[in-house]
């Protein structure tokens, strides 16, 4: 025997609805994780298709690399970064990263949008012009 | 120590278990089975507890309030929120209770003050105690914001509100990924809530493993989450892939998510499964607090105790029907001729 059913049952319905909201929200929608595209002209011409570090590291830590670069360039006036493999890279988002990854919409934005990350790179940097 | 240690040991054990599970590649168990089981336990356990509570009759309004009751019209200063006589007042009182923890705001302390180098007897001093209220408020609101923020992993496209709250939380733009204010707040609040139990002798005396365990568990969740975001790093896209798999009922476990995530996930799963059977049920219980959610209308409305056994009554009407003739004979006035 339950008391105050007319308040408690709607309350429980709201509770269940709230808790299962993602199930309703996404039902019937096919979702696939975004595939980042690296088929830009510059990358295609590369003999060894390799970023400054390996793929997994770049996936997880590219934002920290960029943050460190910014601090070093802006505060220390150090513009050259030597990474593993003895290759020399310029610490520059616009001139180095975007040289290969010239496809911002397909490369940067896809994942950032997927996980609601809104980096403020382009508050200062000039966004590459892309053909839509 | 005998009380504190078991709670700590369980949390440490869970962390080791999750690490082992991730190391042995038991992703299907710790990444799919355990979270699902925990979620189902949480929802059904929660309903079970509420239904169980709803079976307890509340026959009488419990006017444990601090305000003037509605009575004579000339009586001034009646408090409409503290001692409501109808439901609108109750709604306001419940709102303030749930969103502002008003009862806790009234928390007081009693201390014995000794005057040094004097023959005066020690004095008992009462005062307001707001730190618990403040830490509680910071803790609960941070927790809510953190949960809402996590909806970015469970929704596609991500609702505007989630993105807005996230940008608000990371407003300081400190570090990359941006530091969330709620992360710092909840860490500070949980630490305070723990330290207060250990440092205040009266509190330490009444604290049980069931009080420490949720604190350690939540501390573990916060720390593993923060480590994952700010220090050890994680493939966020993989995490969302996993979470979207759960909510679309097509679970997939992507590679390379890392041990720290599985620690975080197992601790959250245990929190969910433990929730309905612990003191954490105050989340549902606050809605069912009889001293808060009932209008104080004892003198206006008759409340009947449901477990009263039927009382045999003999009303005056029945009495008169029975003895009318005798009454008339004896000259006693009757209501019905």
- In angstroms, the separation between the Cα of residue A54 and the nearest Cα of chain B is 13
B156 to chain A nearest CA, in Å?
A: 7
HSE of B208, CA atoms in CB hemisphere, 13 A:
3
The verdict on a CB contact (< 8 Å) between B50 and A12 is: yes
Using one digit for the tens of pLDDT, what is the confidence trace for A42-101? 888 887 888 888 888 888 889 988 988 888 999 988 888 777 677 888 888 888 888 888
Q: Which two tokens stand for residue B163?
A: 């993105």
Interval B150-175: pLDDT, tens:
999 999 889 999 999 999 998 888 88
Q: Average pLDDT over chain B, rounded to whole?
A: 91
Q: Supply the CATH number for residue B264's domain.
A: 1.20.950.20
In the block, residue with structure tokens 């679309």 = B248
Work out the pLDDT band at A131, boundaries 50, 70, 90. Answer: low
State the complex-level ipTM.
0.88
Q: In the prediction, which pLDDT does B135 show?
A: 96
Contact at CB, A60 and B234, closer than 8 angstroms: yes
Query: What are the pLDDT digits (tens) for B188-202?
Result: 999 999 999 999 998
Query: A30: pLDDT confidence band, cut at 50, 70 and 90?
Result: low
Instruction: State the Cα–Cα distance between residues B278 and B276, nearest whole angstrom.
Output: 6
Facing residues of B244 across strands?
A: none
| B187: closest CA of chain A, how far (Å) | 23
Closest-approach residue (CA) in chain A for B294: A4
For residue B233, the chain A residue with the least C-alpha distance is: A60
* CB atoms near residue A6 (< 10 Å): 7
At residue A130 the predicted structure's pLDDT band, cuts being 50, 70 and 90, is low
A128: closest CA among A62, A42, A35, A50? Answer: A42
Domain assignment of residue B336, yes or no: no
Please report the pLDDT score of residue B194 as a whole number: 96
Across the range B291-309, mean pLDDT stands at 84
Give mean pLDDT, residues A20-32. Answer: 83
| Average pLDDT for B13-28 | 90
pLDDT above 80 (res B64):
no
Indicate the average pLDDT of chain A.
86
Facing residues of B127 across strands?
B109
Residue at B19 is within a domain: yes
pLDDT at B1 over 80: no
Alpha carbon distance B54, A1 (integer Å): 8
Q: Please tell me the number of Cα atoms within 13 Å of B224 on its side-chain side.
A: 24
Number of neighbours of residue B269 by Cβ within 10 angstroms:
22
- Choose, out of B147, B169, B247, B259, the residue to mutate when testing the contact with A (most A CBs < 10 Å): B247
- Chain A residues in contact with B173 by the CB 8 A cut-off are 120
Question: Is residue B335 included in any domain, yes or no?
Answer: no
Whether the pLDDT of residue B203 is over 80: the answer is yes
Report the alpha-carbon distance of residue B227 to residue B284 in Å, rounded: 31
Asked if residue A132 has pLDDT above 70, the reply is no
Residue B167 within a domain: yes
Question: Residues of A with CB below 8 A from B256's CB?
Answer: 56
| A82 within 8 A of A53, measured Cβ to Cβ | no
pLDDT digit string (tens) for B218-276? 999 999 999 999 988 888 999 999 999 999 988 888 887 889 999 999 999 999 999 99
- Residue B16 in any domain: the answer is yes
In a domain, B274, yes or no: yes
- Structural domain count of chain B: 1
Determine the structural domain holding residue B248 and report its residue range.
4-304+311-330
């Amino acid at each position: 025997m339950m008391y105050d059913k007319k308040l408690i049952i709607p309350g429980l319905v709201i509770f269940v609805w709230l808790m299962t909201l993602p199930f309703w929200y996404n039902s019937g929608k096919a979702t696939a994780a975004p595939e980042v595209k690296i088929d830009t002209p510059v990358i295609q011409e590369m003999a060894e298709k390799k970023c400054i570090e390996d793929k997994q590291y770049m996936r997880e830590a590219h934002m920290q690399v960029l943050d460190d670069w910014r601090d070093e360039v802006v505060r220390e006036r150090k513009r050259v970064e030597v990474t593993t493999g003895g290759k020399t890279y310029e610490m520059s988002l616009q001139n180095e990263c975007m040289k290969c990854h010239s496809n911002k919409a397909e490369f940067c934005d896809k994942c950032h949008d997927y996980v609601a990350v809104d980096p403020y790179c382009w508050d200062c940097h000039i966004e590459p012009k892309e053909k839509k | 120590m005998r009380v504190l240690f078991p709670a700590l040991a369980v949390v440490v054990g869970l962390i080791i278990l999750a690490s082992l599970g991730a190391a042995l590649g038991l992703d299907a168990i710790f990444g799919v089975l355990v979270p699902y089981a925990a979620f189902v336990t949480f929802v059904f356990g929660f309903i079970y507890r509420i239904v169980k509570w709803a079976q307890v009759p509340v026959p009488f309004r419990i006017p444990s309030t601090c305000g003037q009751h509605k009575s004579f019209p000339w009586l001034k200063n009646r408090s409409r929120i503290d001692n409501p006589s109808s439901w609108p007042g109750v709604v306001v009182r419940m709102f303030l209770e749930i969103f502002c923890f008003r009862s806790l705001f009234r928390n007081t302390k009693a201390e014995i003050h000794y005057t040094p180098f004097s023959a005066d007897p020690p004095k008992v001093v009462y005062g307001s105690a707001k730190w618990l209220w403040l830490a509680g408020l910071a803790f609960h609101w941070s927790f809510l914001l953190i949960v809402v923020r996590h909806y970015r992993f469970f929704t596609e496209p991500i609702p505007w509100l989630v993105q807005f709250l996230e940008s608000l939380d990371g407003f300081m733009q400190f570090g990359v990924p941006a530091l969330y204010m709620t992360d710092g707040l909840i860490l500070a609040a949980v630490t305070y809530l723990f330290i207060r139990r250990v440092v205040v002798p009266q509190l330490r005396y009444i604290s049980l493993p069931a009080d420490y365990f949720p604190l350690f568990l939540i501390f573990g969740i916060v720390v593993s989450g923060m480590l994952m975001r700010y220090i050890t790093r994680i493939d966020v896209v993989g995490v969302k892939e996993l979470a979207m798999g759960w909510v679309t009922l097509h679970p997939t476990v992507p590679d390379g998510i890392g041990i720290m995530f599985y620690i975080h996930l197992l601790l959250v799963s245990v929190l969910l499964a433990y929730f309905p059977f612990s003191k954490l049920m105050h989340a549902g219980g606050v809605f069912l607090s009889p001293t808060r959610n009932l209008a104080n209308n004892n003198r206006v409305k008759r409340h009947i105790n449901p477990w009263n056994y039927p009382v045999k009554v003999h009303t005056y009407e029945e009495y008169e029907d029975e003895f009318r003739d005798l009454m008339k004979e004896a000259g006693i006035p009757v209501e019905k001729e």
